[in-house]
A and B are shown apart, each in its own frame.
Chain A
Amino acid sequence: MKRRFALRTLLASPALWAQELTPVATDLAGEPRLRFFSRIEFTKLEELAKTIVPAVNGQPGAMEAGAPMFLDFLLSRSLSGDRRAYRSGLAGTVDLSELERPWKYGSKSFAHRLKEDLIRATFNSREANANRRGGGVGQYWKAFD
């Protein structure tokens, strides 16, 4: 009887525990480690990030949003075509003047690709959303059983 009671108490309790504990999100607790870029590539990426998406008017830029480190994680999980685009893009000189010319549909320009990725990684970051500029909240679909 006692055992059954204890089991019932355990099953009924998670909500109570959750109220008493204040967990910290993994990305707030620790520092991510480089997984994809070399140190040289990453330094170059950070310079580009500062230049292309800077902080303006108190809104976080790519650096404040941790966008380069996020892209490192994303690319560590990406398909080979995407990984190659970044490797070869960062190996050469990134011509930023391309970004002052109109984007064309189907463009293969690495500079344009980098700009889009940096903006998305920045605007969808926790830091940008704290300032209410970010990608906001959406209806998340859980997996079917």
Chain B
Amino acid sequence: MPKTFSAVIVGSGASGGMAAWVLTRAGIDCCVLEAGPLVDFERQRELRPVYELPFRGFGTPGRFPHVTQASEFDENLWLDEKQNPYSHPANDPYFWVRIRMAGGKMNRWGRASWRLSDLEFKARDHDGFGENWPVEYATLAPYYSRVEPMFKVQGRNEGLPQLPDGVLLEDGSPDSPANARFIAAAAKRGIRITKPRRATGTLASSLNLLLPDAAATGKLTLVPNAIAREIAFDAKTGRVNGIHYLDRRSKRDFFIGAKAVVLGASTLETVRLLLNSASPRWPQGLGNASGTLGRYLFDQIYVKNVVQALVPEARASRQGRSQTGGAGYICRFRNVEKSEKLPFLRGYTYDFGSGGAVNPRYIPKYGEPLMREIADLGSASFSLTTMGEVLPRYENRASIHPTLKDDWGIPALHIEHRYTANERAMAKDSMEVASELCRDAGFEILEAHSQMVPPGESIHELGGCRMGADRKTSMLDQWQQSHEIPNLFAMDGSTFVTGGAQNPTLTILALAMRSSERLAERMKSGEL
């Protein structure tokens, strides 16, 4: 096996997988370092009844203080927080949700696949806050159009500027009566609703759609259980030349040489690796001449169950089981026009769904009346979740903790991320609008609130190693290439300048495809 590769890619999820897919197909020999194991899903999982779990589905107490997504069924899937600690200010919790295995978090993604628009790419032009991206929608559109068919994205095109159309499998499914009433209520207020837009097919992940194609070229060396510790920088050439990594099980130290390094380790792990690769030449972190590494961290606000309602017609006692069912997506409608005067910048969207049981916590009864109501509301639930844009702020940052280290001795992150009045005003507005829409649709509101989940919990953490046209205020250029080190690239969510309210994976894939193709061209021409 060669000890030096044309490209070493750190991470095998959406961005690392796409980089490997593009580069190997262009004939470039790649080594992918994956911190977690390569998992055979059939052997790793088995069906179990919930009552056979030690804690009846409550979960092992205290095992995941920051991963609300973890259930007792999948506790072993998420990254262990004791082995992999991080810190946050005591009063500003940050929920960092991690998975380490070949294919990355894509093995469990929600599959929602929305394009960003120029409301995000040109956000500064629109409202004066922050920075524009160094690319615009028209630049990225052809790449979105290639990624969507690869992941068999299903949905419905609406012709809206804030939600660009895609190359989709048409979702022509009818709406349930309850959803149709809700959609009509929204339309009266000029709010557009579309079908969910999701990748379909088994798994739909880097693990089954990108890595196998890359392996088939004979140009891929996939190394699971390899935890990247530091990127090696050669001060004489001004270039990076390899990666130091540790074996996950033995903790033994290794080095692998690289003519180019592509980081796709996930937003915060990429930032951590660059910060941990500081050297006398780069005391603030590798390639960090701008001082922006780790800064402008953001994600998306989530107000889970912003409104929980019930559909009265769907009660079992009214033979209403066919009244509900299906999901939808409310497209951004706030600040789409520059002229709007709202107490917040940017906008938000909602996921909604009807059908299924109303959680008993919302039923104001106990005893026999409660038991009967639970049975009566078995398919009467209607609920929405708000997803909103978070403004990228200099103050929100990840840095290296002075003493805390993981089980492999690698310095851990300290993450400071606070929401501000802008996000709070947006969350409140979303509660009020959702409540009005539910009332207009004739639903009974059981609970409405505007409390955002802590930063990080959306698992849409972005920024920290952002792109930009100006090297003084960004780490990377429009090709996700370091402004300072020509053979260093980052292609994951850390490179985002803004994030909108759309789930980011489709954009990560499209960007990584574009940048990797450019990298391949430059490597083949000898420019790199």
- With known contacts A100-B364, A105-B451, A135-B50, A144–B56 Cβ distance under 8 A: no
- With known contacts A138-B71, A141-B75, A115–B48 Cβ distance under 8 A: no
The residues of B that contact A138 with a CB separation of less than 8 Å are 47-48, 50, 71, 73
**A124 contacts B366, C-beta separation under 8 Å:** no
The residues of B that contact A51 with a CB separation of less than 8 Å are 366-367
Which of A70, A105, A116, A120 touches B449 (beta carbons < 8 Å)?
A105
Question: In this assembly, does B61 line the interface, its C-beta being within 8 Å of a C-beta of chain A?
Answer: yes
**A136 contacts B44, C-beta separation under 8 Å:** no
Question: In this assembly, does A32 line the interface, its C-beta being within 8 Å of a C-beta of chain B?
Answer: no
The residues of A that contact B55 with a CB separation of less than 8 Å are 74, 77
* A3 CA to B451 CA, complexed, in Å: 68
**B47 contacts A99, C-beta separation under 8 Å:** no
Instruction: Tell me the nearest residue of chain A to B248, going by C-beta.
Output: A144
Question: In this assembly, does B409 line the interface, its C-beta being within 8 Å of a C-beta of chain A?
Answer: no
**A143 contacts B447, C-beta separation under 8 Å:** no
* A2 CA to B186 CA, complexed, in Å: 80
**B56 contacts A124, C-beta separation under 8 Å:** yes
**B360 contacts A141, C-beta separation under 8 Å:** no
Question: In this assembly, does B312 line the interface, its C-beta being within 8 Å of a C-beta of chain A?
Answer: no
Question: In this assembly, does B372 line the interface, its C-beta being within 8 Å of a C-beta of chain A?
Answer: yes
Question: In this assembly, does B77 line the interface, its C-beta being within 8 Å of a C-beta of chain A?
Answer: yes
* A121 CA to B56 CA, complexed, in Å: 7
The residues of B that contact A57 with a CB separation of less than 8 Å are 371, 375
**B58 contacts A120, C-beta separation under 8 Å:** yes
The residues of B that contact A126 with a CB separation of less than 8 Å are 49, 51
- Most chain B beta-carbon neighbours within 10 Å: one of A25, A103, A116, A141: A141
Which of B49, B366, B372 touches A136 (beta carbons < 8 Å)?
B49
**A120 contacts B46, C-beta separation under 8 Å:** no
**A52 contacts B367, C-beta separation under 8 Å:** yes
**B50 contacts A134, C-beta separation under 8 Å:** yes
Interface string of B45-88 (1 = CB under 8 A from A): 11111111101111011100000000101111100000000000
Of residues 127 to 143 in A, which have CB atoms within 8 Å of B's CB atoms? 129, 134-143
- With known contacts A52-B370, A137-B50, A138-B48, A99–B364 Cβ distance under 8 A: yes
In the complex, what's the smallest C-beta–C-beta distance from A23 to chain B, in angstroms?
Answer: 13
Instruction: Tell me the nearest residue of chain A to B100, going by C-beta.
Output: A144
**A141 contacts B77, C-beta separation under 8 Å:** yes
Of residues 36 to 64 in A, which have CB atoms within 8 Å of B's CB atoms? 51-54, 56-57, 59, 61
The residues of A that contact B50 with a CB separation of less than 8 Å are 124, 129, 134-138
Question: In this assembly, does A101 line the interface, its C-beta being within 8 Å of a C-beta of chain B?
Answer: yes
In the complex, what's the smallest C-beta–C-beta distance from A93 to chain B, in angstroms?
Answer: 15
Which of A96, A112, A141 touches B44 (beta carbons < 8 Å)?
A141
20 A-B contacts, Cβ less than 8 Å apart?
A53-B366, A53-B370, A54-B368, A57-B371, A57-B375, A61-B371, A74-B55, A77-B60, A82-B61, A103-B447, A105-B451, A106-B449, A120-B56, A120-B58, A125-B51, A134-B51, A137-B49, A140-B45, A140-B48, A142-B76
Name the 6 nearest CB pairs between A and B, nearest first.
Answer: A105-B449, A135-B50, A56-B371, A138-B73, A140-B48, A126-B51
**B361 contacts A116, C-beta separation under 8 Å:** yes
In the complex, what's the smallest C-beta–C-beta distance from B482 to chain A, in angstroms?
Answer: 33
Interface string of B433-468 (1 = CB under 8 A from A): 000000000000011010100000000000000000
**B46 contacts A142, C-beta separation under 8 Å:** yes
In the complex, what's the smallest C-beta–C-beta distance from B434 to chain A, in angstroms?
Answer: 13
**A116 contacts B61, C-beta separation under 8 Å:** no
- Most chain A beta-carbon neighbours within 10 Å: one of B51, B365, B375, B447: B51
In the complex, what's the smallest C-beta–C-beta distance from B27 to chain A, in angstroms?
Answer: 34
The residues of B that contact A135 with a CB separation of less than 8 Å are 50-51, 56-57
With A117-B58, A124-B56, A141-B77 already in contact, 11 other A-B pairs whose C-beta atoms are closer than 8 Å = A57-B375, A100-B366, A120-B58, A124-B51, A129-B50, A137-B48, A138-B47, A140-B53, A141-B44, A142-B44, A142-B46
- With known contacts A105-B447, A129-B51, A70–B56 Cβ distance under 8 A: yes
**A125 contacts B56, C-beta separation under 8 Å:** yes
Which of A77, A119, A120 touches B61 (beta carbons < 8 Å)?
A77
Instruction: Tell me the nearest residue of chain B to A107, going by C-beta.
Output: B361
The residues of B that contact A102 with a CB separation of less than 8 Å are 362, 364, 446-447
* A113 CA to B451 CA, complexed, in Å: 19
Which of B76, B305, B362, B451 touches A143 (beta carbons < 8 Å)?
B76
* A111 CA to B347 CA, complexed, in Å: 37
The residues of A that contact B134 with a CB separation of less than 8 Å are none
The residues of B that contact A99 with a CB separation of less than 8 Å are 364-366, 370
The residues of B that contact A74 with a CB separation of less than 8 Å are 55-56, 58, 61
The residues of A that contact B447 with a CB separation of less than 8 Å are 102-105
Which of A53, A79, A106, A141 touches B62 (beta carbons < 8 Å)?
A79
The residues of B that contact A106 with a CB separation of less than 8 Å are 449, 451
- With known contacts A74-B55, A125-B56, A136-B50, A56–B368 Cβ distance under 8 A: yes
* A78 CA to B49 CA, complexed, in Å: 22
Which of A70, A104, A116 touches B360 (beta carbons < 8 Å)?
A116
Question: In this assembly, does B216 line the interface, its C-beta being within 8 Å of a C-beta of chain A?
Answer: no
* A105 CA to B44 CA, complexed, in Å: 36
In the complex, what's the smallest C-beta–C-beta distance from B327 to chain A, in angstroms?
Answer: 21
**B360 contacts A119, C-beta separation under 8 Å:** yes
In the complex, what's the smallest C-beta–C-beta distance from A101 to chain B, in angstroms?
Answer: 6
**B47 contacts A137, C-beta separation under 8 Å:** yes
In the complex, what's the smallest C-beta–C-beta distance from B76 to chain A, in angstroms?
Answer: 4
The residues of B that contact A142 with a CB separation of less than 8 Å are 44-46, 76
The residues of A that contact B371 with a CB separation of less than 8 Å are 53-54, 56-57, 59, 61
* A61 CA to B446 CA, complexed, in Å: 25
